Amino acid sequence: MKLAQIEIPVTNPLLDDYRNQKSSILSFFHYPNRSESFSKRLEDLQNHPIRRERLVAIIRDFMEPLEISDKAEKHLQELEDNAVVIVGGQQSGLLTGPLYSVHKAISVILLAKEQRENLGIPVVPVFWIAGEDHDIDEINHTFTAVNGRLVKHIYGERSKSKKMASTTRLDVEMTRELINETFKQYGETVYTEKLLTNIDSILQKSTTYTDFFVQLMNWLFKEEGLLFIDAANPKLREYEAPYFEQLIQHSETIANVVTIREADLAELGYGTPIGATKEAANLFYVRDGERFLLERHDGKFINHMANVQFSKSEMLTLAKENPTCLSNNVVTRPLMQDMVFPVLAFVGGPGELAYWSTLKDAFETLNMKVPVFVPRMNITIVDRQVQSILDELQISVADALAGKTTVLKTSYEEKVYDTDAKKVIEKTKQLLQSQYEGLQEHLRNHNIHLEKLVDKNLSFHEAQLDFIMRKIEQEILLKHDVELRKYRIIEDRILPGGGLQERTFNPFQFMNEYGEDLVKEILSLPFAINGKHNAIFL
């Protein structure tokens, strides 16, 4: 296994400008993404109050069923003492969800190690599971790629309610069926049976999406001491009670400043990632595990679908006495993370960067600063078959990631295309059209009105000629299928569905081929968190 860091075009202008430290976007943050920002952030955290002992007890309680490793226990003890944290997070996807969930965890772990060494203090990696998210249709599936076509493997039916991932139950048999169907697409290897046995053992101990997700992630990262916490955990919600009170007290101001900041962002051409409004409460009301977004109208916090409305004082009472019925949205989640943890840096993707760009004034409203925002690492895994084909066709990984494979495949198809056959068929169609025009004129001269029938007959013959041409094309492509399949394999593995691999596949596709220690081996590579794309050759 080896690592190559490569430059590829960045298609997200906000991310590109942030990485290049363009002043227009850096004005939306308190700290630029530079090495000296971490020591400055550390100084600012000295006055940041954290109830460490209780927080660690909550994390330990949540992780107890996961078999806490020695390193995780060490990190818990450090957090209880004086450690700061690197935080990243993701929704509770099936089979960990897309690979970028794993890449986020890797980024968090490596950045924590790097800053522990640079700053000379304990820096602990934390993975914040967005178990309160309720869009189950975003997490209830995984993909495989077959002959240039993505196959979507979906658990159950489309979700009709807005239940949180942490309260949405998984049926063991249905989930097992989805996993087996997915692994069949991977193909059986010497590692398949053991992987399926381990996954099934974890599945049988899981009752919800979040249970299954966190146990799989802990299996992959246990030895790194990655700490996990679920945003929907009832004990964490109780711990957050005074922070919910602050969010309610400042709800109007937060909505106003975020709306203004987002308008500034849009004016610079970066869009409106949140769709902020001044009426937003930026909090959900939770009832029976289902979330309802609240808005503010005439001094009330309202959701018509749930038929609920609360005064500000009633909301404050809820926060104090029943905080489990409150939940954060994309605006208040970063604020809550910063109140809960001593966050040195947050690791996120392009989407998170976009909405964090709107939050500077919201953080200031609560007398806080936006932590250092570090874009997660992008990783593409290049298996041996793909590497061999790339070498044979003399295509670099950078070129493949930039879409050059599709261009070369099209060029090859044009090269083998039977242009003579196409010319003959086109000439035949022109002759037909000429003959039919003569027929139409003859019929009109003899006052015979069959124009529609003649046109229909001509269309039938043209369709038959088109059918013959398609069959010729199919035969040609079949004749050259061995060569064309090489291009398809690169497309399927490197840019499945035209997008980055990490947005489509889960890690088990590669673990099935290279073993369950794959993530551990990846973590041993000499990464540098520098914005370059990481190609890992297996």
Q: What is the pLDDT of residue 479?
A: 64
Distance CA 186, CA 181 (A): 9
Q: Examine the domain organization and report whether 336 and 436 are in the same domain.
A: no
**500: Cα within 13 Å, side-chain hemisphere:** 19
Q: Examine the domain organization and report whether 393 and 451 are in the same domain.
A: yes
Q: Per the structure, how many domains does the chain have?
A: 2
Q: What is the pLDDT of residue 475?
A: 73
H or E, element range at 328: strand 326-328
Nearest residue to 127 (alpha-carbon basis) of 351, 356, 325, 348: 348
Distance CA 394, CA 387 (A): 10
Helix H, strand E, coil C: the string for 54-102 is HHHHHHHHHHHHHCCCHHHHHHHHHHHHCCEEEEEEECCCHHHCCHHHH
318 within 8 A of 310, measured Cβ to Cβ: yes
Q: Examine the domain organization and report whether 467 and 424 are in the same domain.
A: yes
Residue 361, domain extent: 1-275+329-380+504-526
300 assigned to some structural domain: no
537 assigned to some structural domain: no
Q: Examine the domain organization and report whether 373 and 392 are in the same domain.
A: no
Q: Examine the domain organization and report whether 242 and 335 are in the same domain.
A: yes
> Which spans in 120-228 are helix H?
172-186, 192-204, 209-221
Q: Examine the domain organization and report whether 53 and 83 are in the same domain.
A: yes
297 assigned to some structural domain: no
Q: Examine the domain organization and report whether 357 and 465 are in the same domain.
A: no
283 within 8 A of 326, measured Cβ to Cβ: yes
Structural tokens at position 171: 């049926």
Give every residue of the chain whose pLDDT is below 50, as ranges. Answer: none
* Residue keyed to tokens 């239940």: 163
Taking only the tens place, the pLDDT of each residue in 233-244 is 999 999 999 999
Q: What is the pLDDT of residue 415?
A: 74
Amino acid identity of residue 33, one-letter, is N
Q: What is the pLDDT of residue 439?
A: 85
CATH number at residue 145: 3.40.50.620
- What is the reported pTM? 0.89
DSSP 443-486: HHHTT---HHHHHHHHHHHHHHHHHHHHHHHHHHHHHTHHHHHH
Those residues whose C-beta lies under 8 Å from the C-beta of residue 83, and which sit 6 or more positions away, are 75, 121, 122, 123, 124, 342
Taking only the tens place, the pLDDT of each residue in 348-369 is 999 999 999 999 999 999 999 9
Phi-psi region of 21 (alpha: psi -120 to 50; beta: other; left: phi over 0): left
Q: What is the pLDDT of residue 419?
A: 66
* Cα→Cα distances 504→80, 156, 378, 423, 485, Å: 38, 19, 13, 41, 20
Q: Examine the domain organization and report whether 457 and 351 are in the same domain.
A: no
Q: What is the pLDDT of residue 431?
A: 84
Distance CA 533, CA 496 (A): 17
285 assigned to some structural domain: no
Distance CA 55, CA 235 (A): 9
Q: What is the pLDDT of residue 458?
A: 80
295 assigned to some structural domain: no
Structural tokens at position 227: 């700490």
Distance CA 47, CA 54 (A): 18
Those residues whose C-beta lies under 8 Å from the C-beta of residue 397, and which sit 6 or more positions away, are 4, 6, 380, 382, 390, 494, 535
81 assigned to some structural domain: yes
Q: Examine the domain organization and report whether 78 and 224 are in the same domain.
A: yes
Q: What is the pLDDT of residue 105?
A: 98
26 assigned to some structural domain: yes
281 assigned to some structural domain: no
Q: Examine the domain organization and report whether 484 and 342 are in the same domain.
A: no
316 within 8 A of 310, measured Cβ to Cβ: no
Q: Examine the domain organization and report whether 340 and 434 are in the same domain.
A: no
Q: Mapping DSSP to helix (H, G, I), strand (E, B) and coil, where does residue 144 land?
A: strand
127 within 8 A of 222, measured Cβ to Cβ: no
Q: Examine the domain organization and report whether 43 and 173 are in the same domain.
A: yes
* Residue keyed to tokens 């261009």: 407
Positive/negative CA dihedral, 354, 359, 360, 361? positive
